[in-house]
Structure 1
Amino acid sequence: MNRRWTARLALLAGAAAVAVLLVFAGLGSVVLLAVGAAGLVLTVAGVWWLLTRTGWTRALAVLLTVATPLTVLTWYATAGLLWVVLVSLGLWALAVLAGRAALVDDTAPGMPERAVGRARRPFLIMNPRSGGGKVEEFRLAERARALGAEVVVLDPADHQDVTELARRAVAQGADLLGVAGGDGTQALVAAVAAAHDIPFVVISAGTRNHFAMDLGLDRQDPSTCLDALTDGVELRVDLGRIRAGRRPADAGAERVFVNNASFGVYAAVVQSPAYREDKARTTLELLPDLLTHHGGAHLTVRAGARLPDDPQAVLVSNNPYLSGDPAGLGRRERLDSGRLGVLAVEVGTAAEATELLLRGERSRGLTAVTAREVVIDADAPVIPVGVDGEALMLPTPVHCRLAPGALRVRVPRHRPGAPRAAPPMDWRRVRRLALTMGRAAAGRDAA
């Protein structure tokens, strides 16, 4: 279905959602919407109090969070209008999905790629524990060796320095480095590849594989990534670099990140020794102080643009995440824009939390900018930082910068491609797209 018809479907489904409410609920539709909105506000408030309070207040927040949606649904059912609400919500969800899909521009150019020959001496590092054992499940080591690669499978019982392994391999003549593992390990080896200007191969054997996703690789079957060794193309992508304290910006003082560096609430939580043992309990214990600024360092951010004072969380990413998919949960359309993405979150009340949920990046609690350099300072000499999921403690100030085109990434010639994330919903653009493209088609037919 082309974009014009997808836009028309969005308008039709939106109109149908409204029509169902008006036809079957009449004037009661206003009451339905009011009750639903009030229930949503109370539920979000309950979640906020659950995260920011302790003791009996938290217990009441749990009760409010659970009881409010149940009460609203019960009221709808008693009034005989539950099916009306569900049908209308389904149609509205279809309208929004279709509208966002219509706004995706499939003609936008991707990252430039160039044909390359086969690697003569590829060297791959594989973590057998990543992704729940994908290295063994997909027989990645055996397949890579059959393609002529030297493979080192890390020993889970014995810590090995992957940076040193990669450097030693380059010194011995490796002309390509690769990793089957998580994004943190990818970043460490990518730094060595970038320093020696040799290609780097990503094998999507981690748990989330954000870097692999944005490169358009197959995350379901990591063995397909090995095709890059024999039938690959090369991309030039940016690398994020992070430097702590006031040391000069030399290569030895910097650490590479392929995805992002996080500061504030999330970084503080994952830094706790108890986090790995009981994530949920540790998070609930630490969040009240962190979210209300009664604990943790107070951050300041300098990124060449106005950012909130003392944000609760900051995410600095290697290229910006697409609008509509913030907080490191979405995709990056490109990895070669030459810009860092910066997301800063500052939410102080239940009302602000509700606004953030409903309005996303248009809310006052979320600021999104791009920059070439970002400096994170604090009222503490050392702060927790998450670098591609690795929990670190770094001296302040922390400097983040981008190295444009620093990494040569070799990917399979034939790969799924990174699915384009839909932009935020814009009904005016959807309407204009549906009507304008129709008129243009009519004009061509008349000619």
Structure 2
Amino acid sequence: MSKRIGLVVNPTSGKNRGMSLGLEVAHRLRAAGHEVLDLSDESYAAARDRALGAIAQGIDVLAVVGGDGMAHLGIDLVAGTTVPLALIAAGTGNDIARGLGLPVHDPVHAADLVTTGVPRTIDAVRHVDAHGQPRWFGGVLGAGFDSLVNERANTWPWPRGQMRYNLAILRELPLFRAIPYAVTVDGVRHETRAMLVAVGNGPSYGGGMQVLPDARMDDGLLDVLVLHEISTPEFLKVFPKVFKGAHTSHPAVEVLRGREVTLEAAGIVAYADGERFAPLPLTVEVVPGAVTVLAPSPRRPGR
């Protein structure tokens, strides 16, 4: 059945291959008989506005091509609507697509899910700002050492990619001290000094760091990791374990679980799905089934 597809492409994703991948995806969708509306634009904000207009006027699917930043945009756009989202992962990290079992670095296969995929509802996380405007994310929100590294890296025009963040870690680490936090989960307040706090609807961020390995995108709950104050040498020992999710056994790591989380700390800006999100204090809540994604059909037993 022919569908009207709104397509948003990040031209810089996939080591600047996003534009060519977007053209490949559009060709694939049109060859399958779909109408494709290219909603991409020179800026993130302009593309967002165009996509909002298309959703309001009526499209059957919103498809985004890129990494976690584009997944973040897509989730923010379709959350709370009936428009399904097609994630065509073509970025560096692709944590959200990977967490959902979607094709990664295979845009043709991912584009085919617009035709063959089945709707799957997942949770999304909502923050309402001081002006009453909702903002959504789908993966992990970081608010600590990780977000400070992001803040530093985003001030540098060079180098690009992962190396910029590696250098920012080296610059930030000697200056970093544990942060006084108040973390409130479902009305229960915890005050502590911590190295970082992460709130997860999904398990990973940063290109495969399994910060909350037991988090699930469809369980109606948020997992909250608190890495309490430890020395810098101990932090250097613990931090690499996050890539395998082995850090959760450390005595300084605490994982809480609930539906609504408030984070309070001075001078911290939270990042969600790798994107600058909001300064603390902030409150987020999980909204079960807020987003529909197009996913591969579940395999039948024995097949």
Query: Would you say same fold, with TM above 0.5?
Result: yes
Matched, 1:348 2:230: yes
Once the two structures are TM-superposed, the CA of residue 335 in structure 1 deviates from its matched residue by 1.6
The 1:207–1:332 alpha-carbon spacing in structure 2 relative to 1, beyond 3 Å, is farther
Give the corresponding residue for 2:221: 339
Give per-residue Cα distances to partners, 1:290-321, cap 9 Å, x unaligned.
2x24xxx6322112467560211111011456
Q: How does 1:193-272 map to 2 (within 5 A)?
A: 193-244=78-129, 247=130, 250=132, 252=133, 254-272=134-152
Asked if the contact 2:29–2:112 (Cα under 8 Å) also holds between the matched residues in 1, the reply is no
Matched, 1:121 2:7: no
Q: Which amino acid aligns with 2:194?
A: P
Q: What residue ranges of structure 2 are gaps of 5+ in the alignment?
A: none
**In structure 2, how many angstroms separate the alpha carbons of the residues matched to 1:334 and 1:398?**
22
Aligned CA-pair RMSD: 3.0
Once the two structures are TM-superposed, the CA of residue 389 in structure 1 deviates from its matched residue by 0.5
**In structure 2, how many angstroms separate the alpha carbons of the residues matched to 1:312 and 1:283?**
13
Greater fraction of residues in helix: 1
Give the corresponding residue for 1:408: 292
Matched, 1:385 2:276: no
1:370 pairs with one of 222, 234, 257: 257
Once the two structures are TM-superposed, the CA of residue 350 in structure 1 deviates from its matched residue by 5.8
Aligned to 1:196, the other structure's residue is in SS state: coil
Q: How does 1:125-204 map to 2 (within 5 A)?
A: 125-132=8-15, 133-137=17-21, 139-147=24-32, 148-152=34-38, 154-156=40-42, 160-204=45-89
The 1:302–1:408 alpha-carbon spacing in structure 2 relative to 1, beyond 3 Å, is same
**In structure 1, how many angstroms separate the alpha carbons of the residues matched to 2:156 and 2:277?**
14
Q: What residue ranges of structure 1 are gaps of 5+ in the alignment?
A: 1-117, 416-447
**In structure 1, how many angstroms separate the alpha carbons of the residues matched to 2:96 and 2:167?**
29
Matched, 1:277 2:158: yes
Give the corresponding residue for 1:299: 181
Once the two structures are TM-superposed, the CA of residue 289 in structure 1 deviates from its matched residue by 2.3
Greater Cα offset, 366-375 or 142-151: 142-151
Give the corresponding residue for 1:105: none
> % of aligned pairs identical?
28
Give the corresponding residue for 2:197: 314
**In structure 1, how many angstroms separate the alpha carbons of the residues matched to 2:13 and 2:214?**
23
**TM-score (normalised: structure 2):** 0.80
Asked if the contact 1:352–1:365 (Cα under 8 Å) also holds between the matched residues in 2, the reply is no
The 1:240–1:153 alpha-carbon spacing in structure 2 relative to 1, beyond 3 Å, is same
Greater fraction of residues in strand: 2
Aligned to 2:193, the other structure's residue is in SS state: coil
Give per-residue Cα distances to partners, 1:97-134, cap 9 Å, x unaligned.
xxxxxxxxxxxxxxxxxxxxx46312121122112215
**In structure 2, how many angstroms separate the alpha carbons of the residues matched to 1:122 and 1:137?**
16
Asked if the contact 1:320–1:339 (Cα under 8 Å) also holds between the matched residues in 2, the reply is no
Once the two structures are TM-superposed, the CA of residue 221 in structure 1 deviates from its matched residue by 1.1
The 1:405–1:131 alpha-carbon spacing in structure 2 relative to 1, beyond 3 Å, is same
Once the two structures are TM-superposed, the CA of residue 331 in structure 1 deviates from its matched residue by 5.5
Q: Which amino acid aligns with 1:231?
A: T
Asked if the contact 1:320–1:340 (Cα under 8 Å) also holds between the matched residues in 2, the reply is no
For this pair of structures, how many residues does the alignment match?
Answer: 281
1:398 pairs with one of 269, 275, 282: 282
Asked if the contact 2:81–2:291 (Cα under 8 Å) also holds between the matched residues in 1, the reply is no
